[in-house]
A = this chain, B = another copy of it.
Amino acid sequence: MAEKDCKQDEKRYKERVMAIKDAIELLGGKWKFCILFNLYDSGTMRFKDLQKNSVGITPKVLSNELQELEENLMITRTVNNTKPVTVSYKLTEHAKEVEPVINALINFGLKHRDKIQGK
C-alpha cells in the first residue's frame, strides 16, 4: 500500500514535469510571452503595433512567432477589409489560460529587478 502510494506520487510528479515541458515547448523562446502579454492587455492588435510594443523584434521573427502561436491555437489572425489591408491578432479563449503565467512572470521580473538594483 505504501508502495502503491509512492508509485502514484511518482506518476503525479512526472505528469507535472511533463506539463512544464509541454508548456515550455509552446511558450518558450524569447518573444512569445511578450506577444501574448500585449494581446492579453490590448485585446486586439495589428502586426505593426505588436512589433512596436515588443521592443526589438524584427518583422521576420515576429511573423514566425505569430505563425507558431496560431498553429498552436493560441491566437487568431484576421485580415480586415481595409485599404491598405490590415491584420488583427487576438487571443483564443484557450490562450487566456496563460494569463496567470504571464502575471506571475511579471511579478517575478519586477521583484527580481528590485533585488538586483537593491544591492
Contact = CB atoms under 8 A, between A and B. Distances in A.
**Chain multiplicity (copies):** 2
Interface residues of A, number: 44
Nearest to A102: B20
Contacts of A16: 37, 106, 109-110
Contacts of A53: 13, 17
B41 A21 contact: no
Interface string A101-118: 111111111111101000
A34 interface: yes
A19 interface: yes
A83 interface: no
A108 B24 contact: no
A19 B30 CA distance: 13
